[in-house]
Chains A and B, each alone.
Chain A
Amino acid sequence: MKINLEILSASYLFGEKEVANLNTKELVPAMILRRRLTRASKLIIELMANVDFKEGRIIYGTSFGELLATSNILNAILENDILSPTDFQNSVYNTAVSYASILFKNTSEILTISSGEETSLKVLKVGAIKALDEDEILLVCCETLNINNIEEVNHCIDFLESAVALKVKISKEKATINFENIQNNSYPKAIEHILHIAKNFKNDTKNIIEVEI
């Protein structure tokens, strides 16, 4: 089965260590919320502002989830330190989109997918199936790998922070962007499909993809 999606808006961010110049202070005026945000939460909120999506269904993908909170917990347990409750609440994979839902008062269905190196491909598939209901959906993926000693396990990813968002709806038109020649070797493989689409998105034309289920 094939489902075509129109990409209504696209945005992506990446940085070797961190994405710089985020507008978090303006986007999240309440300090009590802002100070709890993880890096992934800040990136997702930035992307949602960029693609103008505040309310509606969201399909979020992350292969490694909240790596900094997870590593803080592991190190606290190893060192017999006090474990931070904030680190624990921020360690679940759906943290980033949950903070975004709190910020934007979005009470819609929000799913989080974590399917290893195929995470963004699965986000596209699940998103396409959801889009059959004919609403506008946000597909968003993020990896935040900038933790101490990440080089012990990371030997191939140059951009430790990367995030991509697509606002999509169902379409019957022919595909204009295909999945051939995906070349995103410096990024996590988990975002390669969705990043390829965002990089090929053109503002002055219709952008259609065909998702094979």
Chain B
Amino acid sequence: MKITNKVYINYFDSISCAGNDSSELFESICNKKDTIFIDSIYVKEKVVAIGKISKNEDLKDILLKRCEKLLEQSKLENFSKTLLVVGSSVGGMNETEKVFFQNKDYKKINYKKHPIDAIAYYLKEKFSFYDDVSFSTACTSSANALGYAKEVISKGIYENVLVIGIDTLSYTTVCGFSALSVLSSKPCTPFDKNREGMNVSEGFGILLLQNQKKENSIELCGVGYSSDAHHMTQPHPDGLGAKRAMENALKDSNLTINDITYINAHGTGTHANDFSELNGINSLFIDKKPKVSSTKSITGHTLGAAGAIEAIISCMVLQKQIVPSNKGLEEIEIEGINYSMETISTKVNYVLSNSFAFGGNNTSLIFGLAK
């Protein structure tokens, strides 16, 4: 099918440990603020560093308020002509945990508030959408939600798509990653030789994608998907799947490696991710080396929300023409990468954002200034 429509991001909002909104988020990233803190509650007899939002309010309730704010500011009357696309890794898991740990049985678990669809279910109690769909591909969930939003607007099927990437902290994820021995006891330091691992965190990113350009629009130019077909949790060490996703995103956007100014890496801070992703970048960006940084040392890894939050960071990089640095990167282990060591103002044309997940699910997105 011939794809004709351009896709514009006309509104975004977020909350994470790095800030209560997207301005605070970007300021934290540029100023390398300390946002990840030590926790000894989630994992028994073990200290891990996690990213927690500062507001003492349920994340879903904050999400409702932010959707109301979106309606006010975007000049949409309502969501009746909008497709809702949710990306989440755990859905209503923390709700399930509360009920199960208290009652020690499943009897009072509401089956509509447990699964991934719990987010859409909650939103639909307040708002009416034209339709909705929820994606759950672990840490690529909201990157895939954005990719689908681009596809349905490009193909002329929808004019407005609201993408929400959201995940709350839960015992399941924090203890689960601890069982895999990939958690750091300090704020993570992606790409640093002395890295300890990753930080699980929580948050959401909201993006309104439309077929009409507005003031300050950012274009979602391309999406690329691939599967590693290699291992459930270990990405291919040579980054073959990562490379293919980036290549597919370049092809989808009709761009070349020379057009990319900055790569917002998946960069979780685990040894396996660092090697795979950087090998993938090195094998694709041979002559032209864009700046590379991971912002997870500030946001933590928000799992299913990461793709949406990092899409917002990519939009702000383009709007402000500022490339953020790698916080905590002191000793480089993998050569050949143009690591961003200082936050700099520079001309930024296109940003590539990577998201990779369990099962070898890979998604790359390319953003550009709307022309």
Contact = CB atoms under 8 A, between A and B. Distances in A.
A94 B229 contact: no
B172 A101 contact: no
Contact of B106 (A106, A122, A125, A152): A152
B179 to A, nearest CB: 4
B104 to A, nearest CB: 7
Contacts of B310: none
B328 interface: no
A36 interface: yes
A112 to B, nearest CB: 5
Interface string A98-114: 11011011111111111
A13 interface: no
Contact of A93 (B101, B116, B360): B116
Contacts of A73: 172, 175-176
Given A98-B232, A102-B231, A132-B1, A111 B137 contact: yes
Interface in B119-178: 120-121, 131-138, 144, 148, 151-152, 155, 157, 171-172, 175-178
Contact of A101 (B104, B107, B138, B359): B359
Given A149-B105, A152-B106, A113 B361 contact: no
Contacts, number: 173
A59 B205 CA distance: 24
Contact of B359 (A74, A98, A149): A98
Interface residues of B, number: 61
B230 interface: yes
A45 to B, nearest CB: 14
A139 interface: no
A9 interface: no
B244 A107 contact: yes
B286 interface: no
A68 to B, nearest CB: 13
A135 B274 CA distance: 34
Nearest to A170: B1
Interface stretch (A19-27, A81-89, A175-183): A81-89
Interface of B: 1, 44, 89, 91, 93, 96-97, 100-101, 104-107, 109, 111-112, 114-117, 120-121, 131-138, 144, 148, 151-152, 155, 157, 171-172, 175-181, 225-233, 241, 244, 357-361
10 contacts: A73-B175, A77-B171, A91-B176, A93-B116, A98-B359, A98-B360, A102-B230, A126-B133, A152-B106, A153-B106
